[in-house]
Amino acid sequence: MVATKAGVAAERERLTSAGAGRRRWLLPLLLWCLALPAGAAPATPEEGLDYDVVEPPAKRAGKGADGRVEVVEFFWYQCPHCNALTVLIEPWAQRSRERVRFVRLPLALNSAYAAQDRLYFALEELGLVERLHPTVFQAIHEDGVKLKTVGQMTAFLRDEGVSRERFGKAMRSPGVRAGVAHVRQLASHYRIAEVPTLLVDGRYLTSAGHVGGSQADAIAVVEWLVRRVEEERRAARR
């Protein structure tokens, strides 16, 4: 597994150390996100600093609408920061699944690795993304496996029980091509220049770069934004 208890503990320790907190309000909210007791309510993140508002917002990135707040992660398999984010974003998304519709969107920032975007959508097409998504990150960043070309991916997936024929068919499918085109369109609309970047309700963008470099702090801002959207929706129904 990519996510480890040691990794979460290290992030908690970093945030509670003397020099860790640029934003003191982030710690109580982060502790809430990690299912720990928090001693005080967090203050408000700052627009233009901790997150950006996108105008105009785009349509939902995922398919369909089910009433939950959509949170999108733009990621790249080759990116070490995206690998590091997994330790918090996946458990958070799992705990929040009744309120949050979590969508992963692959976005290679180097065209030489563009096949990795197709890899994600191929795994989705095969119904294997939940099982193999963390495995791909682990292979690249912990095991040193090269997954740049389709041939390398084919060999890797063969060891995971996926035949060359099945994987090849998925990689060539219309759904994979459409998925890649959709992500590129959204990335252009939102002017995504770094990964991982997190998008809330099609309107709010945040990242570790917004909050001093901490992936955990970015998750705290996302949680606050989700609550904000939920409150806006309740107010609209009154």
Cα–Cα distance for residue pair 65/70, rounded to 1 Å? 9
DSSP assignments along 80-118, one per residue: HHHHHHHHHHHHHHHHTTTTEEEEEEE--SSGGGTHHHH
Answer whether residue 61 is part of any domain. no
Residue-level pLDDT at 57? 79
Answer whether residue 188 is part of any domain. yes
Residue-level pLDDT at 238? 84
Looking at residues 50-66, what average pLDDT do you find?
79
Answer whether residue 54 is part of any domain. no
Contact in structure between 223 and 211 (CB atoms under 8 Å): no
Q: By residue range, what is the domain housing residue 87?
A: 66-237
Residue-level pLDDT at 37? 38
Model pLDDT for residues 193-236, shown as the tens digit of each residue: 999 999 999 999 999 999 999 999 999 999 999 999 999 999 99
Contact in structure between 135 and 72 (CB atoms under 8 Å): no
In this structure, the dihedral spanned by the alpha carbons of residues 163, 169, 171 and 177, taken in order and rounded to 10 degrees, is -160
Angle, alpha carbons 183-186-190 (nearest 5°): 135
Residue-level pLDDT at 156? 98
Answer whether residue 22 is part of any domain. no
- For the beta carbon of residue 108, count every other beta carbon within 10 angstroms: 23
Work out how many domains the chain is built from and give that number: 1
Answer whether residue 92 is part of any domain. yes
pLDDT-based confidence at residue 16 (cuts at 50, 70, 90):
very low
Model pLDDT for residues 39-52, shown as the tens digit of each residue: 333 468 999 999 99
Residue-level pLDDT at 43? 62
Cα–Cα distance for residue pair 230/71, rounded to 1 Å? 13
Region at 54 (left for phi over 0; alpha for psi -120 to 50; beta for the rest): beta
What 3-state DSSP class applies to 127?
coil
| 96's tokens | 């929040």
Answer whether residue 1 is part of any domain. no
Model pLDDT for residues 130-179, shown as the tens digit of each residue: 999 999 999 999 999 999 999 999 999 999 999 999 999 999 999 999 99
pLDDT at residue 2 tops 60: no
Answer whether residue 117 is part of any domain. yes
Answer whether residue 173 is part of any domain. yes
- Amino acid letter, residue 54: V
Angle, alpha carbons 77-141-209 (nearest 5°): 60
Residue-level pLDDT at 12? 42
Helical segments of the chain, H only:
5-16, 26-33, 80-95, 115-125, 129-141, 150-159, 164-171, 174-190, 215-237
Lowest mean pLDDT of 16-25, 87-96, 152-161, 218-227, name the range: 16-25
- CATH number at 101 reads 3.40.30.10
